[in-house]
Amino acid sequence: MSSKKRKIEKRNSEDKMRGIINGSGEIIEQNIATTLEKNYMPYAMSVILSRAIPEIDGFKPSHRKLLYTMYKMNLLGHTRTKSANIVGQTMKLNPHGDTAIYETMVRLSRGYEALLRPYIDSKGNFGKFYSRDMAYAASRYTEAKLDDICFELFRDIDKNTVNFVDNYDNTLKEPSLLPASFPSILVNANTGIAVGMASSICPFNLKEVCDTTISLIQNLDHDVMKTLLAPDFPGGGQIVYMKKSLEEIYRTGRGGLKVRAKYKYDESENCIDILNIPPTTTCEAIIEKIIDLVKQGKVKEITDVLDETGLNGLKLTIDLKRGVDPDKLMQKLYALTPLEDTFSCNFNILIGNVPQVLGIKELLKEWIKFRVECVRRRTNFDLNKMKEKLHLLEGLSRILLDIDKAIRIIRETLEESGVIPNLMAGFKIDEVQAEYIAEIKLRYLNRAHILKRIKEKEQLIKDVEKLEDTLKDSAKLNSILICELEEVVVKYGQERKSSIICVKETSELEENTDIPDYPVTFFFTKEGYFKKITPQSLRTSGEQKLKETDKITQIIAGYNSFDLLFFTNRSQVYKAKANDFPDSKTSLLGEYVGAKLNMDKDEKPLYLVATKNYNGFLLFFFENGKVAKVSLESYATKTNRKRLVNAYSSASSTVKIEYKEQDEDYLLTSTAGRALIFSSSFLQTKTTRDTKGITVFKLKNGQKVSKVELYNNTNSAKLNKYKFTNLPSEGVALSKKFPNFEQLKF
């Protein structure tokens, strides 16, 4: 090819790009901006307005078309039907193909587990959102119906609460919005990518959202962070609470939120079980990343990782090498794998067909405006129906004056077409009233029936006045909204699935300044119940409420800023802040610590330590006669760890745990009926938490330490024979002269 010909082809190609030459070779003068505006802008606007960005009711058009089709198929509260049937019917409103419609149905279903409050009650294999490989079955194999919460989505939709528009071929009508009676836009996650913009809305707990909305209706200056604690994801997990980041999301509608997987350590199998993962990742992605880290040598503590997800839900098992600290390993995995990930928020919503990025408060205010308009239109609809009926009854009341005249007019009218005009002229009523009277059956043209209908007129007049007052008074409209939201909370409210954990971002002093500090008294019971009661409440309260078999084992005076350490029967300690527990009353059972701190199954709290500065020491008395003295500073951690394993030795069963800041005398008795008294000052304080201690009480085979008591009776010289300074000791047989002998003998 000659260079001249190449130059001509290159110029023609450039001209085509500039839009001045068509396929036939004819030169056309065309502005590139105009071309883009005519050809690309309609597509971009269609994607933004009709596909990717949700509206104030919480749905994209594809969601709304599917749910409305199921509603019209009478699948709300009835038996399920084949998914293929639903998909086929939905294509009358949504012409984008059966695959896209079915994928939309899968995401909205209960089986897929992607939504906090699923809209579709599904049966069959719908896959799982947390798995890349667990695919859903074909639509011919699965069944579905609308979930009960959809009663709230379609409440009074037939009462002109929302506008209806034509479908794509003008053969059917569909709602432009759904009159949802709760802020569904915040209850379920919604993501979409449009042209030049995107939307990513994280889910919140239904009860918290409704409570926040009620508070905003009552007070527009309400601080939403007081009632809307944090997002709540359907897969659970742990939300890392960072106040500044959360405030940014609540204020601007944009920001990032860290979500961690939730795990537990199985000591018997020496493995970590991952039970929840962040919503932005999958099981397969996590496993692949862990395997890659092991191959690279960055993680050496793991021997195997397995996906044991089954009928009981998600479960990833990480097998550990001997001696590995599971909490330290998890901190490393949080940093290196998607076990901790960031959910990016972008609250981009269509408000009146205009995309807007709104904070939580502004978004809820827009929803309140939308819902007030729905209630106003519903009230107008009911009012008009009542007025129409009232108008008919007013005409009926006029014929009461002369029923015989009405019968005579109808009988004497020669042609049917003259009945209505003659009734209008005879009773001075309009055509609508005359038509109503003419249609009344002859059997009802009696005074008793007409009087009965006229009594309805009196009630109708009152109802009309009531509805008119409601329309004029915005406070009454707001009260209707509040009542409906309260009903939703009662019917569909549920506990949070995602727990909230705090991570120290600044200095400890700054972190503690946010915690209100005031004196409290801690009560801990034998069965693991905990109460935190203020002095004022104690002074005005009666007896402590406990279970029949329960009793209070510890009463500790402290402050709301204290750290709480709960030692369990699994040689573990769970750490919490006193501020994490609500103020209680003597009339309440209190908080069950095992459930509050997510303890393992069959794990029970035994002993409570409340401290501010970690001074003092702990004494662990074991059945084998050994006693361990461990500094409390050993339990102070720089990171915000909630659980410490190997908190004390598990080599022998524990008889008693005791926290002291000063040395005391203790009385130990054995199953052989022997006793000794010794001072804890003879023991050396250790920093190793799981130290086995030193032998204090020499025991023969089969003998155990059965009881340990603090002993303060130093007045009696007769008790000196029980005191020993040379340890270990076999003790002395108990004498009947010993104080409280009846309680100590065996």
Q: How far apart are CA 529 and CA 742, in angstroms?
A: 30
Residues with Cβ < 8 Å from 389, sequence gap 6 or more?
Answer: 456, 460
Q: How far apart are CA 157 and CA 178, in angstroms?
A: 7
CA atoms within 13 A on the CB side of 84: 6
Enter the DSSP assignment of 135. P
Q: How far apart are CA 373 and CA 160, in angstroms?
A: 11
Residue 492 annotated in active site: no
- Six-digit token string for 486: 């309260």
Enter the DSSP assignment of 720. G
Specify the pairing of strand 643-644 against strand 573-577.
antiparallel
Enter the DSSP assignment of 632. G
Burial 713-732 (b: 16+ CB within 10 A, else e): eeeeeebeebbbeebbbbbe
Sheet-wide strand order for 120-123: 81-82, 143-146, 120-123
- Six-digit token string for 30: 């065309």
Q: Which of 151, 120, 233, 148 is nearest to 187 (CA)?
A: 233
Question: Exactly one of 40, 102, 119, 141 is catalytic; which is it?
Answer: 141
- C-alpha distances (whole Å) from 405 to each of 244, 433, 440, 453, 462 are 81, 16, 15, 19, 31
196: phi > 0 → left, psi -120 to 50 → alpha, else beta; which? left
Strands (E), 316-377: 316-320, 340-346, 348-351, 354-357
Give the CA angle between residues 611, 612, 614 to the nearest 5°.
Answer: 65
Q: Work out the burial of residue 702: count CB atoms within 10 Å of its CB; fewer than 13 is exposed, 13-18 middle, 19 or more buried.
A: exposed
Q: How far apart are CA 213 and CA 227, in angstroms?
A: 9
Q: Which of 70, 87, 84 is nearest to 145 (CA)?
A: 70
Give the CA angle between residues 404, 410, 411 to the nearest 5°.
Answer: 85
Note if the bond before 54 is cis, omega within 30 degrees.
no
Concatenated DSSP letters for 179-243? --SS-HHHHS-EEEE-SS-EEEE----HHHHHHHHHHHHH-TT--GGGT--S---TT--EEEE-H
Q: Rounded to 5 degrees, what are φ and ψ at 338? A: -70, 10
* Enzyme catalytic residues: 141
